[in-house]
Copies of this chain bind each other. A is one copy, B any other.
């Protein structure tokens, strides 16, 4: 078990890991978009600013087909570091965990079958409200419907996300809901000042402490949708929110609309937990009495610089990578060395074929 660490509600976390060994898991990948990501310098999720909007559908396509249809290569940072979806894909395939894509406001629909929600993208919170109140209600309602359906098909519903710029909206939502949040991000020299400035200007627009109104003003479509999923799914099966700061914001909003703590954990990578600028564990404890499970895939041992980069603070988390690695390694019994070997094989496949 040295590859995992459990924080927060520890006994719940260990029980959760135990249950993953024999039960069925289903990964649901929620893709979305906030125009907040178009603020220069705020995200690296995409090779350049025009390609950011293709990252969520391309990640979905890569998980599904092993290559992308919407863009030529798999999503990567401007200097060629690959999407954390590489870790997700390795995790899902090695443990035969099925997955479904859900479009909750992506600007570009993915070229594969997906669950549609009729949701729109979110606006840039530095200049306007993200959504209307009724769009927030729609997101929660549809999240509840889909969460209930998917949870009834599995023992553990893993929920991951791809929403470029999402740490900034998550930061704003957490602060608006009263938490002392600091963000993690896909960039090692986290542009904290920029994110703080954007969040602060968005917070000025808040004129009500109603949680729906807060999401409408400073959030993004992913947050209310995944919170709705969690709210219904946690009544039916176990749920693992797979992600970092964005999932903390989901948890904070979900605690306002209600969910079953006993069935819920956050699963993430050690790169989020170790990020001294973010205090992730403290934040989760403040929000809910659940476990935060962390996995260390020991990517610093990789022969490939593109994989070592994760351990050096690049990318860190996304596409549900941490949670999927936890579920996969618990189910297969593989340790991190074996997992790394498989991730490296996938890395070679990608960069030989690209």
Smallest distance from the beta carbon of A69 to chain B beta carbons, Å? 12
> Is B64 within 8 A of A100, CB to CB?
no
The answer, yes or no, to whether A145 is at the interface (CB within 8 Å) is: yes
Smallest distance from the beta carbon of A118 to chain B beta carbons, Å? 8
The answer, yes or no, to whether A48 is at the interface (CB within 8 Å) is: no
**CA distance in complex: A152, B152 (Å):** 13
Smallest distance from the beta carbon of A22 to chain B beta carbons, Å? 16
Residues on B with beta carbons closer than 8 Å to the beta carbon of A96: 152
Q: Mark A54-70, 1 if CB is under 8 A from B, else 0.
A: 00000000001000000
Smallest distance from the beta carbon of A353 to chain B beta carbons, Å? 21
Give the residue of B26, B115, B153, B154 whose beta carbon is less than 8 angstroms from that of A114. B115
**CA distance in complex: A64, B141 (Å):** 13
By beta carbon, the residue of chain B nearest A153 is B153
Known: A98-B152, A153-B26. Contact between A113 and B113, CB under 8 A?
A: no
Within 8 A of B (CB), among A105-159: 109, 111-118, 142, 145-146, 149, 152-154
Residues on B with beta carbons closer than 8 Å to the beta carbon of A114: 115-116
Known: A115-B114, A116-B113, A116-B116. Contact between A98 and B154, CB under 8 A?
A: no
**CA distance in complex: A113, B148 (Å):** 12
> Is B26 within 8 A of A98, CB to CB?
no
Residues on B with beta carbons closer than 8 Å to the beta carbon of A109: 116, 118
**CA distance in complex: A112, B117 (Å):** 7
Residues on B with beta carbons closer than 8 Å to the beta carbon of A100: 149
**CA distance in complex: A153, B98 (Å):** 7
Interface residues of A (CB under 8 A from B): 24, 26, 64, 96, 98-100, 103, 109, 111-118, 142, 145-146, 149, 152-154
Q: Could you list 9 further interchain pairs (A-B, Cβ under 8 angstroms) beyond the known A26-B153, A113-B115, A113-B145?
A: A64-B145, A96-B152, A98-B149, A100-B149, A109-B116, A109-B118, A113-B117, A115-B115, A153-B153
